[in-house]
C-alpha cells in the first residue's frame, strides 16, 4: 500500500469514527419511524416558520424520545412541590431524572428547541405527600421567592429555557390538592409576578390555562385571573380538551358548538375579551379520546390515539372517524351511539386555519407518547401550523 493510500485509509477510518460518534451522541434519528420515513415512505414536512409554536408535553412516565423535527417547544411533565409544616421546602422532578436527561440531550443536539419544566399540583413521588402544594407555597412572599429562586437555579443548571405552571386550578380542588378559594386567584397572580421578576426576560414563563376566566364566586370555580397574569407571561397554553366527555353526549374539544357546555371558540374569546393578544395564545389538542371521567362503566375513560385500533375494534361495535360538521371534530361511536371525542389530522388542519387567521401562535398537545408509531398527529400539528 502506498503512503497516499495509507493516508486515505486513515482519513476514511477517522471520518467513519466521527460519524459513528455523532450518531451515538444524538438520541434521535429524525422521523416518526426513527429513519425519517413512515413504512418506508419519506414524511413531507413544512418548513419552520419563525414565531409559530408546535409544543408537545413529554411526561416523566413516557419513553419516546421526542422528534425535534416536529417540535418548537417541549414542556416536561412534571415537577412537584414539597411542602412541610405549612412552608414550601423544595421541588423535585417526578419519576426518574434519567427521563428528564433524555429530553435535555435532545435539546443539546438541537439548540433551537425550547424546553420548559412544567409544575403540577399533583403528587407522584413516593417520598412526598399532599401538604398544601401551590396554595400554601403561593400564600406567602417568602414561599413565592424561595420557589422562584429554585426555578432559576434549575433552569441554569440544566440549560433549559423556562418554566410552565400547571396549577389546576387556583381556588379549586379537582384532584384532592389543597385550595383556598378566597385567596388562591390573587396569590397565583403574585406567584407569576415573582417568577417573572426572578427569571427575568431571558427565560420563558408560561401556564396551562383553563377554558374560562376567573369566576366571581368560589361556588362557580375560581381558576385564573387572565388579565392580571397576562403582563408576566410569554404565552398561554389553553387546555381546550377534556371540556366534556363522550358519555355526556358531547365532544371534548369541539371548535364551535354553542349548544354544548363549552368549546374552543368560547375558550379563546375568554382570553381575547380579557385583553390578551392572540399572538400570546396557543390552542390545546388532545392526543387521546375522552369517553368518561372514570372507568366505572367497565371501559377506559381515555384512550391514546395510538391505541385506537386495539381499544376500539369494529368487532365490538366501535366506529372511528365519524365527523361532526358543526364542531369540526371527529368522534367514535359504539353501536351507533356517541362514545368519545378526539382530534385527528382533519380537525387539526381546520383548527389551524382558524387560529392562524386570528393571529394565534400555534398548538400544544397532551401528550407526545399518546400518538401512534407513525407520528400521525404530531406531523399533522407541525404541517398545519407551519404551512
Query: 355, 295, 350, 298: which is closest to 323 by C-alpha?
Result: 350
Q: What is the mean pLDDT of the chain?
A: 90
Spatial separation of the C-alpha atoms in residues 365 and 287, rounded to whole Å: 7
Q: What is the pLDDT of residue 27?
A: 37
Q: How far from 200 is each of 193, 207, 362, CA to CA, in Å?
A: 10, 16, 24
Task: Kindly tell me if the per-residue pLDDT of 30 is higher than 50.
Answer: no
14 versus 247: which is more confidently predicted? Answer: 247
Span 99-157, pLDDT tens digits:
999 999 999 999 999 999 999 999 999 999 999 999 999 999 999 999 999 999 999 99
Query: 135, 133, 130: which is closest to 171 by C-alpha?
Result: 135
The pLDDT confidence band at residue 218, using thresholds 50, 70 and 90, is low
Task: Kindly tell me if the per-residue pLDDT of 1 is higher than 60.
Answer: no
Task: Kindly tell me if the per-residue pLDDT of 339 is higher than 50.
Answer: yes
Domain membership of residue 378 (yes or no) is: yes
Domain membership of residue 140 (yes or no) is: yes
Q: What is the pLDDT of residue 173?
A: 87
Domain membership of residue 170 (yes or no) is: yes
Task: Kindly tell me if the per-residue pLDDT of 196 is higher than 90.
Answer: yes
Q: How far from 93 is each of 43, 82, 98, 196, 239, CA to CA, in Å?
A: 34, 11, 10, 21, 22
The pLDDT confidence band at residue 41, using thresholds 50, 70 and 90, is low
Domain membership of residue 214 (yes or no) is: yes
Domain membership of residue 382 (yes or no) is: yes
Are residues 56 and 113 in contact, defined by beta-carbon separation less than 8 angstroms? no
Domain membership of residue 250 (yes or no) is: yes
CB-based contacts of 219, cutoff 8 Å, min separation 6: none
Task: Kindly tell me if the per-residue pLDDT of 36 is higher than 90.
Answer: no
User: What is the number of domains present in the chain?
Assistant: 1
What domain range includes position 275?
44-288+341-386
CATH number, domain of 151, equals 3.20.20.80
Domain membership of residue 172 (yes or no) is: yes
179 versus 16: which is more confidently predicted? Answer: 179
355 sits in which H/E element: helix 345-358
Domain membership of residue 336 (yes or no) is: no
Amino acid at each position: 500500500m502506498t503512503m497516499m493510500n495509507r493516508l486515505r485509509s486513515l482519513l476514511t477510518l477517522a471520518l467513519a469514527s466521527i460519524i459513528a460518534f455523532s450518531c451515538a451522541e444524538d438520541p434521535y434519528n429524525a422521523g416518526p419511524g426513527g429513519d425519517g420515513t413512515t413504512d418506508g415512505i419519506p414524511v413531507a414536512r413544512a418548513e419552520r416558520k419563525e414565531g409559530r409554536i408546535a409544543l408537545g408535553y413529554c411526561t416523566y412516565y413516557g419513553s419516546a424520545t421526542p422528534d425535534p423535527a416536529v417540535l418548537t417547544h417541549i414542556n416536561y411533565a412534571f415537577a412537584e412541590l414539597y411542602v412541610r409544616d405549612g412552608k414550601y421546602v423544595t421541588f423535585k422532578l417526578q419519576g426518574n431524572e434519567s427521563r428528564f436527561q433524555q429530553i435535555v440531550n435532545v435539546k443539546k443536539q438541537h439548540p433551537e428547541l425550547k424546553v420548559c419544566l412544567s409544575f403540577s399540583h399533583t403528587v407522584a413521588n413516593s417520598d412526598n405527600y399532599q401538604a398544601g402544594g401551590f396554595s400554601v407555597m403561593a400564600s406567602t412572599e417568602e414561599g413565592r421567592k424561595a420557589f422562584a429562586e429554585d426555578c432559576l437555579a434549575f433552569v441554569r443548571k440544566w440549560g433549559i429555557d423556562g418554566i410552565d405552571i400547571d396549577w389546576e386550578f387556583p381556588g379549586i380542588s379537582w384532584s384532592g390538592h389543597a385550595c383556598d378559594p378566597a385567596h388562591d386567584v390573587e396569590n397565583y397572580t403574585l406567584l407569576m409576578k415573582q417568577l417573572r421578576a426572578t427569571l427575568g426576560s431571558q427565560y420563558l414563563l408560561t401556564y396551562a390555562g383553563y377554558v374560562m376566566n376567573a369566576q366571581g364566586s368560589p361556588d362557580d370555580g375560581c381558576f385564573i385571573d387572565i388579565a392580571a397574569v397576562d403582563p408576566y407571561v410569554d404565552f398561554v397554553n389553553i387546555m381546550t380538551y377534556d371540556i366534556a366527555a363522550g358519555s355526556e353526549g358531547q365532544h371534548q374539544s369541539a371548535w364551535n358548538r354553542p349548544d354544548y357546555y363549552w368549546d374552543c371558540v368560547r375558550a379563546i374569546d375568554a382570553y381575547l375579551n380579557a385583553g390578551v393578544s392572540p399572538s400570546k395564545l396557543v390552542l390545546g389538542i388532545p392526543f387521546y379520546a375522552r369517553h368518561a371521567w372514570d372507568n366505572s362503566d367497565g371501559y377506559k375513560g381515555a384512550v391514546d390515539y395510538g391505541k385506537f385500533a386495539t381499544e376500539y375494534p369494529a368487532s365490538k361495535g366501535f366506529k372511528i372517524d365519524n365527523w361532526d360538521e358543526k364542531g369540526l371534530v371527529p368522534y367514535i361511536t359504539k353501536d351507533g351511539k356517541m362514545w368519545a371525542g378526539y382530534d385527528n389530522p382533519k380537525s387539526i388542519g381546520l383548527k389551524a386555519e382558524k387560529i392562524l387567521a386570528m393571529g394565534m401562535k400555534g398548538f400544544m398537545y397532551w401528550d407526545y407518547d399518546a400518538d401512534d408509531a407513525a407520528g400521525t398527529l404530531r406531523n399533522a400539528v407541525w404541517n398545519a401550523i407551519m404551512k
